Amino acid sequence: MIEFITKLRGFNQEQLVYMTDAEIEHIYNQTYYHHEEIAE
């Protein structure tokens, strides 16, 4: 999940360390659904 976010959203791992699990999950879901829509 972290690797996916860092590659597609431009975050680095240090930025993600200070976020809660809920924040990271929200970013992951937004990114995943955005790329899923593009693929369709």
CA atoms within 13 A on the CB side of 12: 1
Chain mean position to CA 5: 3
State the total domains in the chain: 1
For residue 25, CA distances in Å to 3, 18, 39, 40 come to 13, 13, 21, 22
Which pLDDT score is estimated for 21?
Answer: 96
pLDDT per residue as tens digits for the range 1-40: 899 999 999 899 999 999 999 999 999 999 999 988 888 7
pLDDT recorded at residue 38: 83
Given this model, what pLDDT does residue 37 score?
82
Q: Supply the pLDDT for residue 35.
A: 85
Rounded-to-integer distance, Cα 26 and Cα 40, Å: 21
* 0.95 surpassed by pTM: no
| Domain interval for residue 28 | 2-39
| Residues in Cβ contact with 12 at an 8 Å cutoff, skipping those fewer than 6 apart | 6
How far apart (Å, rounded) are the C-alpha atoms in residues 8 and 4? Answer: 6
